């Protein structure tokens, strides 16, 4: 981005701080496998111990919503995933999501579960993390978000241990989550054996979807892939 363009974006009232915009395959969630444009917003107020996007905590570039939409359109994919960091930490993310929906994309939002999702456009599929004790950020879960979930949304648990699994299973039952939206269980990469987690789910006939992060299997989680 030229200095002049960057200065104009920084001064704009509809600017957002962006770490990267790239085309890849969706590696997780209900949209797994679709060619998808990822819009990664900069910044996150959490510090999960397994975080694989710490490079998005700082830096980034100011971009106007118009410029973001232009770049997304240039990739020519139908699916767009707004992610971070924690995208909702930037208030203007709400406007970006609305504009992406208006433009006709299938839009998903990956959010930590720590911030209110109530203002997100209902056309967006919200992928809401529920942070387990093993994440080291369980105290950040905003439990009032669960009442806002619809069948269009998804909740995701990253499981770090058998204790995390038991805890997550209890939360799914307590809030009847499987009856309300898709529930995704993922193993924390290198912390819990993926086949062990799969076995626990099968043994319990737990009404959740096991998933492995496709982008880690394909590209070892390189940034921008």
Nearer to ligand SF4, 67 or 93 (CB): 93
Q: State both tokens at 16.
A: 């957002």
Cα separations in angstroms, 90 against 15, 78, 123, 190:
10, 24, 19, 31
- CA torsion through residues 125, 193, 44, 72, sign: negative
Q: State both tokens at 187.
A: 């193993």
Q: State both tokens at 120.
A: 């997100």
Residue 25 marked in a binding site: yes
Contacts of 191 (CB under 8 A, 6+ apart): 50, 134, 160, 161
Residue 113 marked in a binding site: no
Cα separations in angstroms, 135 against 31, 161, 169, 186:
24, 10, 16, 13
Nearer to ligand SF4, 27 or 85 (CB): 85
Q: Report in angstroms how near the CB of residue 171 gets to ligand SF4 at its nearest.
A: 17
Q: Report in angstroms how near the CB of residue 37 gets to ligand SF4 at its nearest.
A: 19
Residues that bind ligand SF4 (CB under 6 A): 44, 46-48, 51, 53, 84-86, 112
Residue 81 marked in a binding site: no
Q: Report in angstroms how near the CB of residue 112 gets to ligand SF4 at its nearest.
A: 4
Residue 100 marked in a binding site: no
Q: Report in angstroms how near the CB of residue 223 gets to ligand SF4 at its nearest.
A: 13
Q: Report in angstroms how near the CB of residue 220 gets to ligand SF4 at its nearest.
A: 18
Nearer to ligand SF4, 112 or 154 (CB): 112
**Distance in angstroms (rounded) separating the CA atoms of residues 115 and 142:** 6
Residue 26 marked in a binding site: yes
Nearer to ligand SF4, 18 or 67 (CB): 18
Beta carbons of 127 and 108 less than 8 angstroms apart: yes
Residue 85 marked in a binding site: yes
Q: Residue 126 forms beta bridges with which residues?
A: 109
Q: Report in angstroms how near the CB of residue 86 gets to ligand SF4 at its nearest.
A: 5
Q: State both tokens at 10.
A: 């920084």
Nearer to ligand SF4, 63 or 156 (CB): 156
Contacts of 160 (CB under 8 A, 6+ apart): 49, 50, 132, 134, 135, 188, 191, 192
Residue 43 marked in a binding site: no
Nearer to ligand SF4, 44 or 197 (CB): 44
Closest to 105 measured CA to CA, from 89, 82, 86? 82
**Residue ranges at the known binding site for S-adenosyl-L-methionine:** 50-52, 85
**Residue ranges at the known binding site:** 25-27, 40, 44, 48, 50-53, 83, 85
**Residue ranges at the known binding site for substrate:** 25-27, 40, 83
């Amino acid at each position: 981005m030229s200095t002049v363009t960057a200065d104009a974006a920084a001064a704009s009232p509809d600017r957002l701080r962006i770490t990267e915009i790239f085309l890849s395959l969706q590696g997780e969630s209900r949209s797994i496998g679709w060619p998808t444009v990822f819009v990664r917003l900069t910044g996150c107020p959490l510090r999960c111990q397994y975080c694989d996007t710490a490079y998005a905590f700082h830096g980034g570039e100011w971009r106007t919503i118009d410029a973001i939409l232009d770049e997304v359109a240039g990739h020519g994919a139908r699916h767009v995933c707004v992610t971070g960091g924690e995208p909702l930490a930037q208030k203007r993310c709400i406007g970006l999501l609305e504009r992406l929906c208006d433009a006709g994309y299938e839009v998903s939002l990956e959010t930590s579960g720590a911030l209110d999702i109530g203002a997100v456009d209902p056309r967006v599929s919200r992928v809401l993390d529920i942070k387990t004790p093993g994440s080291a950020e369980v105290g950040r879960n905003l439990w009032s978000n669960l009442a806002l979930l619809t069948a269009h949304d998804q909740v995701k648990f990253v499981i770090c241990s058998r204790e995390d699994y038991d805890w997550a299973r209890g939360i799914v039952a307590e809030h009847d989550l499987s009856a309300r939206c898709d529930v995704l269980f993922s193993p924390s990469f290198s912390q819990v054996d993926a086949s062990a987690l799969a076995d626990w789910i099968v043994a319990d006939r737990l009404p959740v979807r096991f998933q492995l992060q496709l982008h880690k299997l394909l590209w070892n989680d390189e940034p921008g892939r």
